A and B are shown apart, each in its own frame.
Chain A
Amino acid sequence: MSASVEPGHTAPPDGEAIIAQLKEAGVGVIVSVPDIVTSDGLLWPISKDLDFQLIRVCKEDEGVSICAALSYSDTRAVLLMQQTGLMDSLNAIRAIAMDYHQPVCMMVGLQGKAPGETVLGSASYGVRIIPPILDAMALTHVGIETDTDTPHIAPAINSAYETGDALCFLIGQSPVWTGESA
């Protein structure tokens, strides 16, 4: 799956709506290395939301292992990071999520992607290579580009935990925060 951009529809995703989707899917733990794309609209609000346990890790591959281990006790978690961290964690994802077939759910901010451009058509090399890499790994990815994409989050997480398939959301536009002060 690649990021969907409806013609003429460019409203960024709403952070509050994304968080509501995470809660709807039963996610209780967020593991993260900060990412500038999702910082204001997701990570800061999550850090103040008592419904989540936020685990700040030093390096993203720690988060792959933490999320996988949590799945054994049916504790749902999401690893929130930037695509640079995704790239740095590919071996852990390859082994722990893919070879072992475990429901590691990741949410990845695409730093360097300009509004209005597609992920594959991004001027940024570091952005446009991400979908082909995930495809090569057979890792399901779901684009979260506009506010119309956010309702896909909870069903995708539910499916990941039901099937054991790993999952990667690609956040193509910084979520806005319209809730209480983050």
Chain B
Amino acid sequence: MIRRDFALSALRGLITPRDLLVAVYQSCFDWLALCPRDLNYVSTGAMGQASSHALGLAIGSPERQVIVLDGDGSLLMNLGSLVTIATVRPQHFLHLVFENGVYEVNGAHPTPGTGHVDFAAMAIAAGYQKAVCFSELEAFEAALPALLAADGPVMAVLKIIPGKAYPRDYAYIHSAAAREKFRAALNHNDG
């Protein structure tokens, strides 16, 4: 199993200033603590919608790398988005699914199918170009550069355990300031 903050730290080392990153729930809170940046898209609003927001960003900015930090419980709410994304086929699209088997911020109740659902297989069946699953940090770190460079959409499922507990700043992720910061940065860097 991979500590989530260690996986996010590995990603932090490879993300470029123009990349668009969409994050939800605890992965979002951890990422904001580890890698605060204006092009973090954190206002996804409704549970499960991260992948769809990310697709909209990818359609609007097709030359940019889009990275989604999704959760297993969240993705279960929007499985159809896998098919939609695969159909649009954004070229620079890395969908990271942090699988812990629970609704972590809603009392840690188990998700349906905990331990039996194969998200990577679902992504391939939906039409993703590549999908892999990691349970060891070293393997994820070694594969990450190639995953970012691969033709998308690509999914990587990470079997995770919580790491350091970062604060859950809901007020910020739902704030107009967070959205305006992203909008300004996107259009400032749009060249």
Contacts and interface: CB of A to CB of B under 8 A. Distances in A.
Interface of A: 29, 53, 55-59, 61-70, 72-75, 91-92, 94-96, 99-102
B137 to A, nearest CB: 31
Contact of B81 (A53, A62, A96): A62
A161 B65 CA distance: 26
B45 A100 contact: yes
Contacts of B48: 61
Nearest to B44: A65
Contacts of A58: 80-81, 83-84
A116 B81 CA distance: 38
B108 to A, nearest CB: 23
Interface stretch (B96-104, B145-153, B161-169, B178-186): B178-186
B43 A65 contact: no
Contacts, number: 101
A65 B78 CA distance: 11
The prevalent SS among residues of B at the interface is helix
Given A55-B84, A72-B183, A92 B46 contact: yes
A64 B84 CA distance: 13
A59 B84 CA distance: 9
A73 B39 CA distance: 12
Contact of A65 (B53, B174, B182): B53
A61 to B, nearest CB: 7
B80 A55 contact: no
A115 B39 CA distance: 48
B111 interface: no
A70 B45 contact: no
A74 B61 CA distance: 10
A63 B46 CA distance: 12
B28 interface: no
22 contacts: A56-B84, A59-B78, A61-B52, A62-B80, A64-B49, A65-B45, A65-B49, A66-B56, A69-B52, A70-B56, A70-B57, A70-B59, A70-B60, A72-B41, A73-B60, A73-B61, A73-B186, A91-B46, A92-B45, A95-B45, A96-B45, A96-B46
Contact of B49 (A61, A70, A73): A61
A110 B173 CA distance: 35
A59 B55 CA distance: 14
Contacts of B187: 72-74
A77 B83 CA distance: 20
B84 A62 contact: yes
B125 interface: no
B59 A72 contact: no
Nearest to A89: B46
* Listed residue (B45, B46, B78, B83) with the most chain A CB atoms within 10 angstroms of its CB: B45
